[in-house]
Structure 1
């Protein structure tokens, strides 16, 4: 690397580390110092059955060996291993491609068919950790259409892993390379068709004596990938929308619900009062129809007592209904202690029952009764007038006639007076119940007005408190958004600086 490039790499690393620290993510991995990491490592990765081990054998001019997974320089080893190691990393439990300590990747794909979705996903994951990647298309000797597959693979990689769109591809045939072993000049054509030598030279050019540079590039690539995978505030937009909707509909929703429930309580209370008053009236009208004069005289106090009991029951039921409404309306807004301190004044139910006025004696009724009684006495004596001795005994029957008339007149007068008193009692009962119902409805309405005022005030206070809490949360989200925007700017600058340094490293790697 040039003299200035290490400083640029260090500055880019520091920028990535600061951006990762801003998001609470781990720093990018450290790269080894010069000479401390040993030979650079080429990790050979690919899907099962693609011929990784056969390719490694062809690169090293050895028979495929199922034993070792890492090939290093040993006395008498092949030239390719003098300055780099080849690694066949084991796959993880879920089948992922684990690059291990790779300085670069050699991705092995099959010439028989284009890359599938699983291979592309695993390639995208591993390419986020290792900067330098080349591809080996294995099996060209067995598939005449390998060039079509190669173009399809290039397009798929460019679509799914755009940064590898310009990666190098090497069509190779380990089968031909193995067949050409030990054949001398006669096997030169097979060796050229195998394509192994160009891949060997390119691996040596890219990797040999460049462990430090490749590891620095991998560290930068890992940092860029980590930043692209940590996007803050992904759920914040949805939460902000929820808060804004709640803030807009907060007061309207609660007030509309409270008004509707209060109107329902009023209707229920008035219906309950009407039902009780009607039942009371029916009971007392039946009593009036059979009551004596003493019973009619006690009607007023009894009706007053019954109306007082009805009023107490209606008021108690209204109080219980209001308590349920308060609990349902404010339970989610006030604490239990605040709900307990909220007291609604109990209404005083005192129905004003008019006292029955004494009925004035009806003298016309008495005269009519006497006249009717005399008429009855004449009607009783009428058969005697046909008897021959009637004139003789007529004078003697006059007192009898008068007695019968007076008795009949007295009975008729009493019956008519009783009927008039009952009619008067029924009229008074209707007036008393109507007036009492009006008084109690006024009491209920007053109680509902008081409850409406108190609950509305308490509801407004609670909603104001809730509104302030929502505003505070919205302000906190806005502040987090502001910090995130500033953080995104710093992140974009760090990523751009790292990508520029990676481009310079790739230029140095490819041209020297």
Structure 2
């Protein structure tokens, strides 16, 4: 059996041999398995899922009310230079900052890891995965079950956690677990001495302090080498798994010519169906877009026509004169909204059609046709002669109304000649006033009727022009996207053809090539297994030797194993 003096040399030789083996089997894995430089002092990192109370436990282990403040990177470091407690005389405690991935625990460079679990519920899948990755990078791991004072069923949770760890990381099945309560430790100074001692015992911190000191401070010389061996063992185990997977794949019977022909027919049928399905869906979606755009245009034109007619009915002569100009601006805005809406609808349609065939950055840059002339509203035509005749007739009617208005006065019993002479100015005045009022009313009514007819004709012409713009845009889009769709489907077809050609080559290489590849994978698996087993055996010897050293140290010091460490709060701070 190796002595303590012989072990460092044996470990160094084994590391060198296994590193060379891994570099030959898997150079990438060898670079990932390079051990980080060990810290200047033994370091224990406190890791766990968010909310597990790492800072509270650190403060409780040191007998402080609050943990040390974080560094610039968020890491909390407890060293003897900062906190003068016995526990830190030979090791440092570190709460590392969390990385971007909460399921990855930063343990690189640490001497040992203290994993925190919560007494509220057993470890989750993410915690177990993170534990597995951490256990491949640090050899010494111990566990603390926190917040036991808040959960009466913590013993059931502890047993469940032990079983989960044994199932997912078998080498940690016998790792020590410590139920602890930072809250009880904080309450201890506030109660009488007898009660304080009882709270400290119930907190479980003394046992955890002793184990951290035993595992790390007394074993500092070989823990870094053990971590390096652990990294190599994990990397060789992964190389073994990859080699075994390759052998399994190589042993799978290759397709014969008949199977290959059937597979080709299936792939060709899938390619034809892919082209047919995409084109059918594209044409159906384009037809739906055409109907939606036409309906949108019709609704907008109807709403604008109703609004214009309402304004015509209520406008005076000045308002009627401004309506053609106002309608031109409204038609311009309507045309812009219709064309922009069609553009947005078509762009969304193109993205949906080509999303599974073309990367987003390579989608065709769709440009809907400019609206241009369709926004121009035809000017109102000159009023016809019939309108002027109606105005003149209205004026004549007004003169006749004036005479009718004077008939009652002719019944007055005075001389007719004198009466006639006196009524002439009145008759003329009334006639002219009535004629003017009737002429203005007839002219305003004629102007309104003329503008109503003009607005109907103008909006019908605008609608026709915009329908032509929409039709042109839809035709151009259909042509452009159909070409892009055909090109994308052709690329997919070429990919299928390449896959078929590769399958044919693989079949032709069957036999000798597969046998030789299987032999190479078997050699790789055997070498990786041998290297992993060599690393694991040396790790077990290191652990046994450390246990003997611990026992010898306890006997030489004549310290019973159950004597608790002095409470950190009893030590003066620096």
Q: TM-score, normalised by structure 2?
A: 0.48
Residue 26 of structure 1 corresponds to 30
Residue 135 of structure 2 corresponds to 127
- Contact 2:48/2:105, CA 8 A, preserved across alignment: yes
Which of 81, 85, 104 is the equivalent residue of 1:78? 85
**Alignment partner of 1:38 is 2:55:** no
User: Structure 2: 5+ residue runs without aligned partners?
Assistant: 71-75, 265-502, 551-574
Residue 225 of structure 2 corresponds to 216
Which of 146, 163, 178 is the equivalent residue of 2:171? 163
Question: Secondary structure, in 3 states, of the residue corresponding to 2:108?
Answer: coil
Q: TM-score, normalised by structure 1?
A: 0.53
**Alignment partner of 1:207 is 2:244:** no
Deviation at 1:246, TM superposition (A): 3.9
Residue 198 of structure 2 corresponds to 189
Deviation at 1:252, TM superposition (A): 12
Residue 343 of structure 1 corresponds to none
Question: Secondary structure, in 3 states, of the residue corresponding to 2:158?
Answer: helix
Query: Could you report, residue by residue, the CA deviation over 1:129-148 in whole angstroms, capped at 9, with x for unpaired residues?
Result: 11111100111111111111
Question: Secondary structure, in 3 states, of the residue corresponding to 1:229?
Answer: helix
Measure, in 1, the Cα distance between the counterparts of 2:505 and 2:66: 73
- Contact 2:45/2:112, CA 8 A, preserved across alignment: yes
Residue 433 of structure 2 corresponds to none
Residue 541 of structure 2 corresponds to 504
Measure, in 1, the Cα distance between the counterparts of 2:95 and 2:263: 65
- Contact 1:72/1:84, CA 8 A, preserved across alignment: yes
Q: Which moved more, 1:9-18 or 1:217-226?
A: 9-18
Residue 58 of structure 2 corresponds to 56
Query: Could you report, residue by residue, the CA deviation over 1:140-165 in whole angstroms, capped at 9, with x for unpaired residues?
Result: 11111111111111111111111111
Which of 508, 529, 536 is the equivalent residue of 1:492? 529
Which of 133, 138, 156 is the equivalent residue of 1:148? 156
Bigger radius of gyration, 1 or 2? 1
Which of 229, 243, 247 is the equivalent residue of 1:232? 243
Measure, in 2, the Cα distance between the counterparts of 1:253 and 1:165: 48
Question: Secondary structure, in 3 states, of the residue corresponding to 1:126?
Answer: helix
Question: Secondary structure, in 3 states, of the residue corresponding to 2:161?
Answer: helix
Measure, in 1, the Cα distance between the counterparts of 2:122 and 2:100: 25
Residue 88 of structure 1 corresponds to 95
| Alignment RMSD (CA, Å) | 2.9
**Alignment partner of 1:481 is 2:490:** no
Residue 179 of structure 1 corresponds to 187
Measure, in 2, the Cα distance between the counterparts of 1:162 and 1:82: 33
User: Structure 1: 5+ residue runs without aligned partners?
Assistant: 255-465
Count of aligned pairs between the two proteins: 297
Measure, in 2, the Cα distance between the counterparts of 1:84 and 1:120: 27
- Contact 1:43/1:102, CA 8 A, preserved across alignment: yes
**Do the aligned partners of residues 238 and 246 (structure 1) sit closer, same or farther apart at CA in structure 2, a change above 3 Å counting?**
farther
Measure, in 2, the Cα distance between the counterparts of 1:485 and 1:204: 44
Deviation at 1:210, TM superposition (A): 3.4
Query: Could you report, residue by residue, the CA deviation over 1:55-82 in whole angstroms, capped at 9, with x for unpaired residues?
Result: 1001011122372211112166111111
- Contact 1:134/1:168, CA 8 A, preserved across alignment: yes
Question: Secondary structure, in 3 states, of the residue corresponding to 2:100?
Answer: coil
Deviation at 1:185, TM superposition (A): 3.5
Deviation at 1:494, TM superposition (A): 1.0
Query: Could you report, residue by residue, the CA deviation over 1:232-272 in whole angstroms, capped at 9, with x for unpaired residues?
Result: 37356546647x32468789999xxxxxxxxxxxxxxxxxx
Measure, in 2, the Cα distance between the counterparts of 1:90 and 1:233: 38
Query: Could you report, residue by residue, the CA deviation over 1:264-305 in whole angstroms, capped at 9, with x for unpaired residues?
Result: xxxxxxxxxxxxxxxxxxxxxxxxxxxxxxxxxxxxxxxxxx
**Do the aligned partners of residues 489 and 235 (structure 1) sit closer, same or farther apart at CA in structure 2, a change above 3 Å counting?**
closer
- Contact 1:124/1:160, CA 8 A, preserved across alignment: yes
- Contact 1:127/1:133, CA 8 A, preserved across alignment: yes
**Alignment partner of 1:245 is 2:259:** no
Measure, in 2, the Cα distance between the counterparts of 1:80 and 1:208: 9
Query: Could you report, residue by residue, the CA deviation over 1:324-361 in whole angstroms, capped at 9, with x for unpaired residues?
Result: xxxxxxxxxxxxxxxxxxxxxxxxxxxxxxxxxxxxxx
**Do the aligned partners of residues 184 and 60 (structure 1) sit closer, same or farther apart at CA in structure 2, a change above 3 Å counting?**
farther
Query: Could you report, residue by residue, the CA deviation over 1:375-404 in whole angstroms, capped at 9, with x for unpaired residues?
Result: xxxxxxxxxxxxxxxxxxxxxxxxxxxxxx
**Alignment partner of 1:10 is 2:24:** no
